[in-house]
Each structure stands twice: as structure tokens, then as C-alpha cells.
Amino acid sequence: MLSHCPHCQKELNLNEAQKDKVQKALDALPEGKTLKIACPRCKQPINLRRDGTAEEGGVMNNVLYSEHAGAEDRPVEKMVEEVRKAPQPVKPPPAAPKAPDVSWLATGEYKAQTVVKDVPLVMVLMADSPARASVADAFSALGYQPEFPESAEQAMERMRFVNFAAVVFHAGFEGGSIKGSIFHRHMCELPMASRRYIYYVLVGPEFHTLYDLEALSFSANLVVNDQQVPQISTALKKGLRDYQDLFGPYLEALEAHGKKQ
């Protein structure tokens, strides 16, 4: 299991439950695929192969490895310096959000939105349907206030200014598959300081309800198949309880050290 970040060289400090989840996800990876995780220190992405090694050079079991011949004979300090100087892959930035609609300026009126404090918000990105109503009702019963953006761009713009406690995204919301979704990529690339406080639910015909390994492989907290959406209230209660059991103490520790979102 990878113990140090290949970018910043800091220890990952994963607990046993997290290590177990990562290992199970690695075991379930198809041949040739990688598992993407984020370093909790530098926030850089780490792509893990099925054998637990990181792409582009890294640290495995506290021993730096390299693809260059004779690497085992060189001082560790020199190898670290080579890794730091090696060019890092550059990801294209996400598309800029569209300019705001200012047609209301002509009316000369501005109505401020009423904000209810201390009520958790859930963003539901699903087409208007009975399935969306079931999702909204399930969250409302738990005390969440649902919002329904009309597009992925509108949702990303909204997230710039509002802290959402949960996000529900249907794989077909943008008209294609989740692999080409700009919103799902946006969620996967959120800084961990923000992402760790968002309960991310994926809904779609390709998912297996409550399959934790599948959720982990998609950087989500819960996956729900379309056929089980009418029972999402029960699945959500179990998923949230498991989430609190796993991450609750960690988030409380962060807040105690002044690192609340």
C-alpha cells in the first residue's frame, strides 16, 4: 500500500478502514485501469495501479522507486530531487462559467434571496420526474432543503458561493454518460478542504445500489440504481450512517483544530 505522496513526499496517514477500502478498490480495478486518490496534504492527484504502485514515479512502502536503471544504487536524496524536478502532467482547467444573466437590470428592481441559516442544502441534478421527487422527499425528511439547478454550468456556478451538504447527480443529467460529464469532473477535482464536507450521491442505470467499492471508484459516497430510487430513503439513511461512522470522528477533529469549512 502506498505510504507517501509521490508529489510532496509527505506520509499519507491513512487509517486501517481507509487502507482497506483503497485495497478493495484496487483489487476490483480492471486490468490497465488506475484508481485516482488525492493527497490530503498537497491535494495533488495520485493514480494507483492494481499492484498499489503510483504512476509517474512515487514512494512505495517508504522506499522511493524509479524506472531508471541502477536507481537502487543512488542516494535517496538524489532520487527525491529528480522526482521534484520531473515535469508534472498539467490538467486543462475546467471551462469558465457563463456570464450571469443581467436582464433583470432593466427593471430597476433587486430582490435579495432569503437565506435560512443552519439548514443543510442538497443540490439535486436530475430531470424533473417522479424519481427526482423521491430523492427530494428523502432528503427533505432528513431536514435538507433541496435545490434543482437547470444545468451543470448553473450548478457549478451556484457551488462557488453556497456550501452544499449533499449533492445528488444523475449520470444522464447532461445527456451523455458520466465519463464525459463536466459536473462529475468538477466534483472529482474539488479541493479536499471542500469535498470532504459534501455527501456525493450518484444515480443511474449503471450503478449497483449501496456498492461501496463502486462509489469509491467514482469518487462518490453513495451509488443508487434507477430501479431502487423509490427506496432511496432507506438506502440514504444507511449510507449517511456509514459515512458518519467512518468520517465523523475525523471531521470533528478537523473542526477542533480550526479547519472547519
pLDDT (tens digit, 9 = 90+) per residue, 42-54? Answer: 777 878 787 877 7
pTM of the predicted structure, to 2 decimals: 0.52
Could you identify the residue written with the cell 424519481?
A: 131
Per-residue b/e over 24-53, b at no fewer than 16 CB within 10 Å?
ebbeeeeeeeebebbbbbebeebbbebeeb
Closest by alpha carbon to 140, among 117, 122, 154, 158? Answer: 122
**208-211 CB contacts, 8 Å cutoff, 24+ apart:** 209/235, 210/235, 210/238, 210/239
Question: Distance between CA 76 and CA 69 in Å, rounded?
Answer: 15
Per-residue pLDDT, 74: 47
Per-residue pLDDT, 103: 75
Vertex 249, ends 247 and 252: CA angle to 5°? 105
Q: What share of the chain is helix, strand, coil (3-state, %, to 5)?
A: 40, 15, 45
Measured between alpha carbons, how far is residue 101 from residues 97, 106, 108, 125 in Å?
12, 12, 14, 21
Per-residue pLDDT, 186: 95
Contact 224, 232 (CB under 8 A): yes
Weakly modelled stretches of the chain, pLDDT under 70: 1, 56-89, 102, 104-105, 108-118, 243, 245-261
Taking only the tens place, the pLDDT of each residue in 203-247 is: 999 999 999 889 989 999 999 999 999 999 988 888 888 767 655
Question: Distance between CA 121 and CA 115 in Å, rounded?
Answer: 11
Q: What residues have CB less than 8 Å from 232, skipping those under 6 apart?
A: 134, 135, 138, 203, 224
Domains and their CATH numbers in the chain? 16-85 (no CATH), 121-256 (3.40.50.2300)
Strand 199-204 with 166-170, pairing: parallel
